Amino acid sequence: MTTTSAVRSSRWPWIVVGAGATATLVFALVSPADAVQGNLVRIMYVHVPAAWLAYLAFTVTLVGSIGYLISRNLAWDRTAAASAEVGVYFTGLTILLGMIWGKPTWGVWWTWDARLTLTAIMFFVYLGYLALRRTTTDPQARARRSSILGVLAIVQVPLVHFSVTWWRTLHQPPSLVRPDGPQIDDPLMLTALVVGVASFTAIYVALMAKRTELARLEDAIAMTERSAERPVAGEAVTAPDLGRAG
């Protein structure tokens, strides 16, 4: 009864995901075309929020990893793992949308630009984090190993974000997070980008709620299976063969 109730109560994340995706799409379509990029700028209203979501997700993985290393509470590890999964997905989406934007803009699908290269490295580092979690079925060992990597891997985030200011790069500089404020003159374009970031943040919260719920169920099933495999006390004792005794 409790499990059924928990599953039913978690349907709200799909509503949030649908509403967030719809809001992002609507504002991306109603915003004006860019004077230079034309309609191609509409990709940015998804590309930029996806990149922000990757930063947010991997930061939460850092927090969850530190929380586990301090408390040894597996709830922190579940949060870190769930956030890493979401972050990897949106990092992949960021790279894909960047390639779609780059082909007509730069003439190539991919170039070894500093921002692109470091984003790809970040993607594979966190894929490695998820792969590391599959190397053992011991939950404590898995949490300990992955938490260490979760702490070390966060260095990727500032490297990716500030790469466009630290090195010469084809990639345009940040549009929102700048020391001198957002560099977008058109109010509707700025609104569309802010709505996209806010919507993707809400989507992240919804996906995290759904993934951590699934992680709790997975841990409960694994614990039940481990308990079932344990020998029952007195299992090796057999009844005497009365026929032979006679």
Query: Could you tell me the CATH number of the domain that includes residue 45?
Result: 1.20.120
Torsion-angle region of residue 130: left (phi > 0), alpha (psi -120 to 50) or beta?
alpha
Convert the pLDDT of each residue in 104-129 to its tens digit: 888 888 888 888 999 999 999 999 99
Nearby residues of 156 by Cβ (< 8 Å), 6 or more positions away: 58, 118, 121, 122, 125, 126
Q: How far is CA 162 from CA 96, 136, 165, in A?
A: 20, 35, 5
Domain contains 36: yes
Domain contains 243: no
Closest CA to 61 of 135, 152, 159, 138: 152
Helix, coil or strand: residue 34:
strand
What is the total count of domains within the chain?
1
Domain contains 226: no
State how far the Cα of 167 lies from the Cα of 240, in Å rounded to an integer: 82
Convert the pLDDT of each residue in 188-210 to its tens digit: 888 888 999 999 999 999 999 88
Indicate the pTM of the whole model. Answer: 0.80
Domain contains 225: no
State how far the Cα of 181 lies from the Cα of 135, in Å rounded to an integer: 45
Higher pLDDT, 242 or 62: 62
Q: What is the pLDDT of residue 2?
A: 43
Q: What is the pLDDT of residue 7?
A: 45
* Domain of residue 31, residue span: 12-215
Average predicted confidence (pLDDT) for the chain: 83
